[in-house]
Amino acid sequence: AQRVTQPEKLLSVFKGAPVELKCNYSYSGSPELFWYVQYSRQRLQLLLRHISRESIKGFTADLNKGETSFHLKKPFAQEEDSAMYYCAFLYNQGGKLIFGQGTELSVKP
Amino acid sequence: KAGVTQTPRYLIKTRGQQVTLSCSPISGHRSVSWYQQTPGQGLQFLFEYFSETQRNKGNFPGRFSGRQFSNSRSEMNVSTLELGDSALYLCASSLYGTGGLGNEQFFGPGTRLTVL
């Protein structure tokens, strides 16, 4: 079955440290993957998607089909990056996103 | 452009009752998806509507149903409420629902349903 796994429930780093939020997926075809972010008391919003190959707010994510991973990285974390991050997989080319359990990122001063 | 709106924002019901939640997508968006968010199960897909037709369905019992109107507004209904239905219900809209650049899903603020 298609599945997205985020192994860390909580990731705590100090400001200025590198950050890597892990995401692994299980799917035999060509996936379309996303990272969504939810800041405190705000709605869920798209951070980035693998097909756009952009860097948003300093975050990047590379799709590694061999390792079936889509890890989110940022070289220098900022306190405003503290939020809940969800990796998601678009299923069947329709409006069905399959989400991982989420990783809470806490950036300490 | 106004974002996705959901009404009501909060709802308290008792077991056995039924509830209807409403979602107004971004103007021009034709796909509306619904998700249930709980601390234990996370974000789970309920169903997706496109042009008034259900196009995708998640693994939820038949008590959960939905519909979409010609103006793309959508409603979801839960009948015979159970305690476990307490959750944040999110809807998201996109132009066509499919993948590709420019078809990202925009989420509403959610409706917090509490079943007593």
Check residue B88 and give its pLDDT: 97
Residue B69 backbone dihedrals phi, psi, to 5 degrees? -95, 170
Cα(B105)–Cα(B29) distance, integer angstroms: 10
| CA proximity to B92, closest of B103, B71, B106, B104 | B106
CB of B97 within 8 Å of any CB in chain A? yes
Are the Cβ atoms of A93 and B35 closer than 8 angstroms? no
- In chain B, which residues have their Cβ closer than 8 Å to the Cβ of A46? 104-106
Assign B68 to helix, strand or coil.
strand
pLDDT, one tens digit per residue, over A79-99 is 999 999 999 988 766 778 899
B92 — pLDDT class (breaks 50, 70, 90)? very high
> Residue for token digits 């860097």?
A55
CB of B82 within 8 Å of any CB in chain A? no
Cα(A49)–Cα(A62) distance, integer angstroms: 9
pLDDT, one tens digit per residue, over B28-86 is 999 999 999 999 899 999 999 999 999 889 999 999 999 999 999 999 999 999 999 99
B17 — pLDDT class (breaks 50, 70, 90)? very high
Which residues, 6 or more positions from B83, have their beta carbon under 8 angstroms from its beta carbon? B15, B115, B116
Q: Which of A32, A44, A93 to mutate to test the interface with B (most CBs of B within 10 A)?
A: A44
**For A6, which residue in chain B has the nearest alpha carbon?**
B42
